[in-house]
A = this chain, B = another copy of it.
């Protein structure tokens, strides 16, 4: 069973995180998420939830913290995924442990998948440069110098998969399922979700 690690931070875009996580699980991928940076607790319940608050207020509990994966354990995953949301993507992309991890996984041929502002993590990790990339239009300017910028909804360049925003997250997640599990598995899980005809 292939496995994937999704990074999450305060201010991650909750639709991009959740759609990717859910669809990978539907696709038979073992998914875990890891917190980058710090979480928070409820001000009214100090023994309560340790969660991240996403861009529109959805509160999500990460499965792991990034330091739980020290000692090379993160390299065992078959894919690493960076969701967008400006604040979260900046925290993730600028974290030096993340940069080293993404660089090492890309070099080993693992899938690196970034959506929306998450594509900045590819830039900061210095992977796939000069090759094709896409992102949310709001961060295009930061990518055009180092990549061949595309406006397709999903761009696959060797083992770097990138995409544009919450509205492309279904297509993004299904592209990762197809890369890890094949076209047949992708086709199998599409039906019950009642997707638009054209993603």
Q: How far is the CA of A107 from the CA of B76 in the complex (A)?
A: 55
Q: How far is the CA of A59 from the CA of B25 in the complex (A)?
A: 14
Does B15 lie within 8 Å of A31, measured CB to CB?
Answer: no
Chain A contact surface mostly: mixed
Q: How far is the CA of A197 from the CA of B196 in the complex (A)?
A: 9
Q: How far is the CA of A198 from the CA of B196 in the complex (A)?
A: 7
Give, as a whole number of angstroms, the nearest-CB distance from A57 to chain B: 6
Q: Which of B48, B59, B137, B199 contacts A196 (CB 8 A)?
A: B199
> What residues of chain A have their CB less than 8 Å away from a CB belonging to chain B?
13-15, 17-19, 21-23, 25-26, 31, 42, 45, 47-51, 54-63, 136-138, 153, 164-168, 170, 192-199
15 additional contacts (CB under 8 A) given A15-B18, A22-B55, A25-B56: A14-B18, A14-B22, A15-B23, A18-B18, A18-B19, A25-B57, A31-B57, A45-B50, A48-B50, A57-B63, A60-B61, A136-B192, A167-B195, A197-B198, A198-B198
